[in-house]
Amino acid sequence: MKYHYITNENRPSLTLFFAGWGMDQHPFEQYQSKDSDMIIVYDYRSLELDESILKKYDKIYLVAWSMGVWAATQCQFLASLPIKRNVAINGTPWPVDDVYGIPEAIFKGTLAGLREATLRKFQLRMCGKGDVFRQFQAVTPQRSVEELKEELAAIGEVCKVSPISNFRWDEAYIGENDLIFPANNQKAAWEKAGVETKTGDAAHYDVAVFKHYLNSI
């Protein structure tokens, strides 16, 4: 995993944000937590992270989105950190699953057909609306398609062998208009996990939702 400081002012608290597949810091530099530093984590070709950057904080607020929800559950080092609250947004601990995540055939089809044109189509579905997609293009991640394909393949392989995590989420947000992680599958996943949920009419990538969870802490 890679990380990037969105805010680094040596505050005692940290917002730790696990982004989705294919991301980097660029779509999220607009968000500023009012009382904490903010680190974004991305690129799940590896699930290793330099944990030393987290040790100086007295309080950590964990927010994860999309594939970042699964990635966070796989990071055992989080259990030793002073996490005060954690929220999952439009993702589940079972990212490739016909009942609890992205249906397996869709995941495999996305991976097999990934190229520049299909990536843009994915991003359009992710954004839900043309105007949001156009705004996203102005802050699109600066990563190659080849790199994103490696990341997606790595996620698929780890999902096959990774154990069921006992990581406990405090809250999960479900966007009813999510075209990536079906809302019904998210609801089934969080019901299985016994996690409190909130719902709204958001798409998979939704600026208002990010502002609410990243700026309000």
Q: What is the pTM of this model?
A: 0.96
Between CA 87 and CA 179 the distance in angstroms is 20
User: In the chain, where are the structural domains located?
Assistant: 2-215
Please report where in the chains the tokens 């990071």 appear, as a residue: 75
CB 65 within 8 A of CB 22: no
pLDDT in tens, 15-64: 999 999 999 999 999 998 878 999 999 999 999 999 899 999 999 999 99
Class in CATH terms, 2-215: alpha beta
Burial 149-183 (b: 16+ CB within 10 A, else e): bebbebbbebbeeeeeeebebeebbbbeebbbbbb
| 14 phi and psi angles, rounded to 5 deg | -135, 135
